[in-house]
A and B are shown apart, each in its own frame.
Chain A
């Protein structure tokens, strides 16, 4: 059974009288352990699709089955719980809590999972160590470089042991050297821990790290191929 199973998903935005089809009957399955790059021109619906996969947004029509669970039926709190247990997010803008130390940011998903304070601290520290941020745990986000902030975000995404990481342009705000470092980190997570990764990018060099690439154009899925090189 596929980890992610998307059937005929459509997302329509209504702005006054005009209708905008941000996603148009998307069908896609992703198996556990895959590493998928999502590409396509700006405005083609990549972020919209990722938000639906992340249970942050609901499709206008169609079905999204995540790990055997039909998400359409779930309540707000059940969706929150799914996000907490199954999905780690990495955003272009890092989205760390300001005035909150790296380790506290990392502890956040475990806080909402109801994990005790000792275990939280221990696991958060281990996660920060695994992304190469040992010794930076008490830094505030504004005391870290962009690459370091994105590492904190990655540590936060994997600290709950979620099977999926959704990354929307995670290297968009980083220089190419730092981008490569971040990508190597993600590849390692995919290889070593078998975490399924979906990653939106505009750059072929970045997409090259993935096992599979899908492309959007005008809200439609136009290609789906293994590798890019």
Chain B
């Protein structure tokens, strides 16, 4: 049996002689492997982001948005009409047994001033439950109380980014900041959450009592209304019953009949994440289709070029046979040549796929992650393609009659 190193030398020499031809032959494999790598990177990245997002938002989270998502005729987008009230939130808290915490939320972007520093940030008006719902502990100080909510006290809790931008080294607790020119006392500091997987700064927030937000900051047009209601179910198993209870309570409170479209939407995070996962899956499938088609086309290209190569080198095959090459010596030689083509294409494809994934993250903001397993998989796949499509030409070469091959012009 011939040894691999000399077979490799022979095949690289053959590939070098026809550089352009070899490059064109590899193109299909390059594109195929590149697509495989990108596909797996997108898939892994999306799954990672979804997991992190669920962890970041708090588990067992249900969101109630105003407006309906499905409606005949003129359709209102979810969240366009303020239809949810403080009373809705209270009713859910009181009557929905599968729910552990309810937090009505009203917020907006506002300018915040402390001394000479000013900063534009998002203000979240809610109840103390919001910190349970979002699973967001207080680092120092205290959260606002039910009493603060009842009396619309002008107190606030700050996220890390806000502190960094307004206070620098000063201890913010007890200081007075002005939100939309209204003075608020800082009573607490939140633990930093860092960036969301989508790249958003989650610490660029100020929390105030929801009533204060309504009365002093954002609530002019629709008094008593809130933007969304965030609900935490008691457990993952309780999610479905919590949703059902919420739907019933709100339908009753909003006087919605069985055949009417509701003016609110209940969504849980898992559904939202499922939608995201779905689109990632579709992207993965699409790339997978491109990948398999290119790999097959690339394989056929390799087969084609190897058949040409076998014909071109019939005389060489004859010489080798006359000198003592056995069936498998010839087969291995051409298989190794096909394999060199496909594996070289695979390596270039891997480089292309890795940079492609990087580019997707950077340009389109998609989270991608290239796992070592996907590299091994892509490399293995290109090898399989080389062997599969290289076998027939190698087989054909090995069956040549020595005397005919030697006489071949």
**Residues of A that sit less than 8 Å from B by CB:** 51, 54, 56-57, 76-77, 80-81, 83-85, 89, 91, 95-100, 108-109, 111-114, 117, 156, 160
On whether A108 and B403 interact (CB within 8 A), knowing A77-B327, A80-B325, the answer reads no
Between A and B, 11 residue pairs with Cβ closer than 8 Å are: A76-B326, A76-B327, A80-B324, A80-B326, A83-B322, A91-B406, A99-B13, A109-B323, A112-B326, A112-B329, A117-B5
Contact A112 B324 (CB under 8 A): yes
- B74 beta carbon closer than 8 Å to chain A: no
Interface centre among A85, A97, A117 (most CB of B within 10 A): A97
Contact B322 A77 (CB under 8 A): no
Residues of A near B2 (CB, < 8 A) are 111-112
Residues of B near A51 (CB, < 8 A) are 403
Residues of A near B13 (CB, < 8 A) are 99-100
Report A154 CB to chain B, min CB distance, Å. 13
Chain B: interface size category: 20 to 34
Contact B1 A114 (CB under 8 A): yes
Q: Which residue of B lies closest to A88 (CB)?
A: B323
Contact B324 A109 (CB under 8 A): yes
Bound form: Cα–Cα A80–B400 in Å: 13
- Total A-B contacts with CB atoms under 8 angstroms apart: 64
Contact A156 B323 (CB under 8 A): yes
Residues of B near A156 (CB, < 8 A) are 323
Bound form: Cα–Cα A117–B5 in Å: 10
Contact B319 A95 (CB under 8 A): yes
Contact A111 B3 (CB under 8 A): yes
Contact A112 B323 (CB under 8 A): yes
Since A76-B326, A91-B406, A112-B329 are in contact, a sample of 13 more A-B pairs with Cβ atoms closer than 8 Å, ordered by chain A residue number, is A54-B322, A56-B322, A80-B325, A81-B324, A83-B323, A95-B315, A97-B316, A99-B13, A108-B320, A108-B323, A112-B320, A112-B325, A117-B5
Contact A56 B319 (CB under 8 A): no
B1-36 toward A: CB 8 Å interface, digit per residue (1/0)? 111011000000100010000000000000000000
Report A182 CB to chain B, min CB distance, Å. 19
Contact B316 A56 (CB under 8 A): no
Report B313 CB to chain A, min CB distance, Å. 9
Task: Please report which residues of chain B, range 367-409, place their CB below 8 angstroms from some CB of chain A when the two chains form the complex.
Answer: 402-403, 406
- B213 beta carbon closer than 8 Å to chain A: no
Q: Which residue of B lies closest to A109 (CB)?
A: B323
Residues of B near A80 (CB, < 8 A) are 321, 324-327
Residues of A near B321 (CB, < 8 A) are 56, 80, 83
On whether A56 and B323 interact (CB within 8 A), knowing A99-B13, A114-B1, A117-B3, the answer reads no
Residues of A near B403 (CB, < 8 A) are 51, 56-57
Residues of B near A109 (CB, < 8 A) are 323-324
Bound form: Cα–Cα A99–B320 in Å: 14
Bound form: Cα–Cα A98–B312 in Å: 12
Contact A89 B323 (CB under 8 A): yes
**Residues of B that sit less than 8 Å from A by CB:** 1-3, 5-6, 13, 17, 315-316, 318-327, 329, 402-403, 406
Q: Which residue of A lies closest to B5 (CB)?
A: A117
Bound form: Cα–Cα A83–B403 in Å: 13
Report A10 CB to chain B, min CB distance, Å. 17
Report A54 CB to chain B, min CB distance, Å. 7
Residues of A near B320 (CB, < 8 A) are 97, 108, 112
Bound form: Cα–Cα A85–B324 in Å: 8
Q: Which residue of A lies closest to B319 (CB)?
A: A95
Residues of B near A114 (CB, < 8 A) are 1
Bound form: Cα–Cα A77–B320 in Å: 13
The one of B5, B316, B324 in contact with A113, judged by C-beta atoms closer than 8 angstroms, is B324
Report A90 CB to chain B, min CB distance, Å. 11
Bound form: Cα–Cα A167–B299 in Å: 42
Bound form: Cα–Cα A156–B324 in Å: 12
Residues of A near B323 (CB, < 8 A) are 83-84, 89, 108-109, 112, 156
On whether A97 and B325 interact (CB within 8 A), knowing A56-B406, A57-B403, A117-B3, the answer reads no
Bound form: Cα–Cα A108–B406 in Å: 16
Residues of A near B324 (CB, < 8 A) are 80-81, 83-85, 109, 112-113, 160
Bound form: Cα–Cα A160–B323 in Å: 10
Residues of B near A108 (CB, < 8 A) are 320, 323
Residues of A near B5 (CB, < 8 A) are 117
Report B53 CB to chain A, min CB distance, Å. 58
Residues of B near A54 (CB, < 8 A) are 322
Report A13 CB to chain B, min CB distance, Å. 12
Residues of A near B17 (CB, < 8 A) are 99
Bound form: Cα–Cα A95–B3 in Å: 22
Report B195 CB to chain A, min CB distance, Å. 57
Report B102 CB to chain A, min CB distance, Å. 78
Report B330 CB to chain A, min CB distance, Å. 10
Residues of B near A96 (CB, < 8 A) are 319
Interface centre among A85, A91, A99 (most CB of B within 10 A): A99
Residues of A near B318 (CB, < 8 A) are 95
